[in-house]
Amino acid sequence: MRRFIKTAFLLAMVCLILWGGVKLLKVGYRFFQEMIYPVKYEDIVGKEASEYNLDPAMVYAVIRAESSFRPSAVSSKGAHGLMQITEPTFDWLQTKMENAESLTVEDLDRPEINIRYGCKLLSILFGQYSSTETALCAYNAGMGRVGEWLSDPAYSSDGETLHTIPFPETERYVENVMENYRVYHDLYQFELNGGVMNVEKK
């Protein structure tokens, strides 16, 4: 009987240790995910996402894919800042803004400017294209190039969506952003109220 009690006690202890280990692993994994999928610039993202009727999770997904949250990032193609906007695109976007300030490409290093214009661009693209993936293709490759793809039966069967993305870089980019978007929604609950964003962990 004593041997049975001792064995049962040891089994219970092993189960408890294993359960604690699993819980610790889950907590550690969650902490790791929150580190690599951070929520930063909440005031700016909340304001601009509300202004342009965007899901904050998508804004964060794009920022993570574009710059990994480095505000002074500059790509080999001359794209600047958190949402990686090129100078020609920035100049064009300024013509689309009401009461636009007189800004230069150096201003794209400022998070409030970069996120404002990046969100403006996303809102234009989501209004232009019928699918999120096609809009993201345009963010990465440009509207002109996506227009060519949509008019080619090799890439689009309906002229509105792409069944094939001919640029591997753009294909990977879209996959990356959509995966970021999924993870941000898994980790956080975003609520917008009058330009103020509330973020809660799920």
In the chain, where the domains are located: 1-36, 40-201
Topology of domain 40-201, per CATH?
Answer: Lysozyme (1.10.530)
Q: 34, 48, 51, 66: which is the annotated catalytic residue?
A: 66
> 163-175, pLDDT tens digit by residue?
999 999 999 999 9
Judged against a pLDDT cut of 80, whether residue 67 lies above it is answered with yes
Least confident of 5-9, 76-80, 186-190, 194-198: 5-9
DSSP string covering 2-35: HHHHHHHHHHHHHHHHHHHHHHHHHHHHHHHHHH
| DSSP type of residue 80 | B
- Separation in Å, CA 134 to CA 34, 153, 173: 28, 15, 11
> 94-124, pLDDT tens digit by residue?
999 988 788 999 999 999 999 999 999 999 9
Q: How many CA atoms lie within 13 A of 110 on its CB side?
A: 9
> 15-34, pLDDT tens digit by residue?
555 555 545 455 566 888 99
Using 50, 70 and 90 to split pLDDT, how confident is the model at 1?
Answer: low
CA-to-CA distance for 6 and 108, rounded, in angstroms?
A: 68
Query: What's the confidence (pLDDT) of residue 32?
Result: 87
Query: What's the confidence (pLDDT) of residue 106?
Result: 97
Query: What's the confidence (pLDDT) of residue 22?
Result: 47
CA-to-CA distance for 71 and 164, rounded, in angstroms?
A: 32
Using 50, 70 and 90 to split pLDDT, how confident is the model at 6?
Answer: low
Burial letters 173-192, b for 16+ CB under 10 A, else e = bbebbbebbebbeebbebeb
- Residue spans of beta strands (DSSP E) within the chain: 188-193, 196-201
Judged against a pLDDT cut of 90, whether residue 12 lies above it is answered with no
> 120-162, pLDDT tens digit by residue?
999 999 999 999 999 999 999 999 999 999 999 999 999 999 9
Query: What's the confidence (pLDDT) of residue 167?
Result: 97
Query: Has 98 been annotated as catalytic?
Result: no
